[in-house]
Amino acid sequence: MCQAFAMRIATWNVNSVGARLPRLLGWLSTAAPDVLCLQELKCAAEAFPAEEVAELGYEVAVHGTGRWNGVALLSKVGLEDVRRGLVDEPGYGAEDALLETTEPRAISAVCGGVRIWSVYVPNGREVGHAHYDYKLRWLEALRSTVDKERGAERAVLGDFNVAPADEDVWDIERFAGCTHVTASERQALSALLETDLTEIRPRALKYDIPFTYWDYRALGFQKNKGMRIDLAYTDRALSDAVTDAYVDREERKGKGASDHAPVVLDVAR
């Protein structure tokens, strides 16, 4: 007989692990996820505070170069077969660069028997910009990569920089013609569902829509002018085992908070 196994999986765009380290350690201690997917580390792999999180029982896998990107996996339930990057991952070259270079935006490992991805999808900047095309190509590479993993238990979590539906932004009229809500971006996001994945939508707590990101400016959080762009996808078998999913809005409050809140999934496998 198989023994039941409960696992808590979370994702959080921490917006600089160095600046957010005290809050990260505090949240790990209280929320106690078994696996945490981090994005926007803004530090090189060798500078990640691995010793500090190891004291809380976590193994660490990092993909970072010290610039504006960077992703990581923290796990209490194993960290096997670590993979950095996507299959045929596109690169991006700045306007003054001659060559495209890949950025540290995806990392995965097998944690507790589940292949878990932490992803940080490119922002896109503005429609028509080269970064917008890069974003669409990157999402296609993500789709292709996870499609090759059919048959295994999988979860893909992170900052997707796409709001799946109009209701997932605080005022859709203000986003007209902007990135994060275009048909092309949403179509690329929906393509993930064709790889036998299901989106896990968090339950609403204080407000009707479980936003995950609020701009620092103009009292965005206090006025709940947010977006739901931090998303979680699991294979169908795993989705049936999800017992709860929520956004930890409390972690967005107070001094020194990230502009994103953690998204938490509880799974009884």
Catalytic residue set: 120, 159, 260
Structure token pair of residue 17 = 């692990």
Q: Is 196 annotated as a binding residue?
A: no
Q: Is 129 annotated as a binding residue?
A: no
Structure token pair of residue 202 = 């968090």
Q: Is 259 annotated as a binding residue?
A: yes
Q: Is 159 annotated as a binding residue?
A: yes
Q: Is 104 exposed, middle or buried (0-12, 13-18, 19+ CB in 10 A)?
A: buried
Q: Is 147 annotated as a binding residue?
A: no
Buried b (16+ CB within 10 A) or exposed e, 250-268: ebbeeeebbbbbbbbbbbe
Task: Please name the residue that has the structure tokens 């999808």.
Answer: 121
Q: Is 235 annotated as a binding residue?
A: no
Sequence-distant (6+) residues with CB within 8 A of 246 are 202, 203, 205, 210, 263, 264
Binding residue numbers for Mg(2+): 13, 40, 159, 161, 259-260
Binding residue numbers: 13, 40, 159, 161, 259-260
